[in-house]
Structure 1
Amino acid sequence: MNLPPAPSFRLDGKRALVAGASSGIGLACATALASHGAEVTLAARSEDKLNDIAEAFAAKGWAARSLAMNVADIAATEAAVDARDPFDILINSAGLARHSPALETTEVDFDAVSDLNFKGAYFLTRTVAHGLIKAGKPGSLINITSQMGQVGGIDRAVYCGTKHAVEGFTKSMAIEWGPRDIRVNSIAPTFIRTPLAEQTLANPERRAWIEEKIKLGRVGELSDITGAAVYLASDAASLVTGAALLVDGGWTAD
């Protein structure tokens, strides 16, 4: 009897660029990709922290390099990516949140959030895709968005706007580059236990509200995201593009 083959989640021989790799979701995704065989370029603004992470990866026998990069600086980012061989995988986890009531939003905060979350993400995704297209290679490009890219959130008009925008261009790019076998997807997490989220989670009222909204009744862990990242990066997701993989415990189900 011939049994159907199981898909592989291995990433051996793949080159991955992870933006926002110095902490939180970006660092967790970089660790997961490296542990599955990818050569990972760790990108963020803090070069010293990246070098420490690269050394920790090397101690485990994983291939890693560091790249000091500010995704909001479009010209510098394009130059840094273009100067390297094409990346087979992109995970864009660089992001910023400045929450306030919409009536109190300042132009400075609006520009800071949108320049990184939307404009920076757009041009980074485009730049990695351009390298793949020139080389005639397939690829998997993954943007870390948010459940707030599917719904609205109190005091989060700017943040939600940028995440909805990323979901939109992710779908459009998936359509444009599908014939070239370049897949473009997003991962949309709920509240994940990271250093940046600790202040919110430390507030008992906020924590109770979050756990009530999450149908599975718990805050997300980094390991909840990394499985999704490995899946979308691997050949196991070879027919998945233009999708938003919600890792939100059912927050957006109603």
Structure 2
Amino acid sequence: MVKAVLHELRLMAIALQFFTRVPVPARVGFEPAWLNASARHFPLVGLLVGGVAALALAVGSQALGTAIGVWLSIAATVWLTGAFHEDGLADTCDALGGAVSRERALEIMKDSRIGSYGAVALVLVLGLKAATLASLPLALAVPALLLAHTASRAAAVVLIRVLPYAGEVSQAKAKPLAQKVSALGVAVALGWVVLLAGALVALRWAWWPYVALALAGVLLGTIACGRWFRRRLGGITGDTLGATQQITELLALQGWVVALRWA
């Protein structure tokens, strides 16, 4: 039992190290298989990132105003993750924005340079995030960020499970993530989302429509991204997972705005 708990803590640390700049002690160790297994805790890393975003928003808004607080929140997540997911969004849109073959799209994803489609996608998505957060009162924006960052990481885990890897596994930047996540891994990842959603509703029952619409947005975004990637690439790549996270995060946040307008 103790060994099992320690192993899960190790997997959490590996997921944290993979997705953020947070230093992890060398004694944690590393084995390739652990990275694939750590996918079950990606939503937990999202919760941490969302917590940093919420803190930056709250402090920035109180000290400098809502507009600056919103941009500080976005900047904090970009810095904390090293623009990991934003880079995936840009590469995906560069590759799939034009009418190119599957092979050419995969080649474009490997190019470190950003093109017009990627630049426009970043401006639109980051701008929409900012506008969405600015449309929410602080009391709603904080839980919205926590749920959006958590659920959007689970969306990526689901796609790893249901879609094959589209590129050459031998050339994948993170080969263990080119392999399917186990059913247990997906269940745990979704469990983190359910726990957070339940906690938010338990904390304030009036939030249930906001939570429900946010999760609906993540679900629809995951389905749409999955269909898009299957049709154009035959599966996923690391970049498309980053794009999925960004798109579903935005849709989750917008779910709170829709619920607010209906309230």
Could you tell me the TM-score, scaled by structure 1's length? 0.32
Larger RCO (CA within 8 A; separation ≥ 6): 2
Structure with more of its chain in strand, by fraction = 1
Could you tell me the TM-score, scaled by structure 2's length? 0.31
Structure with more of its chain in helix, by fraction = 2
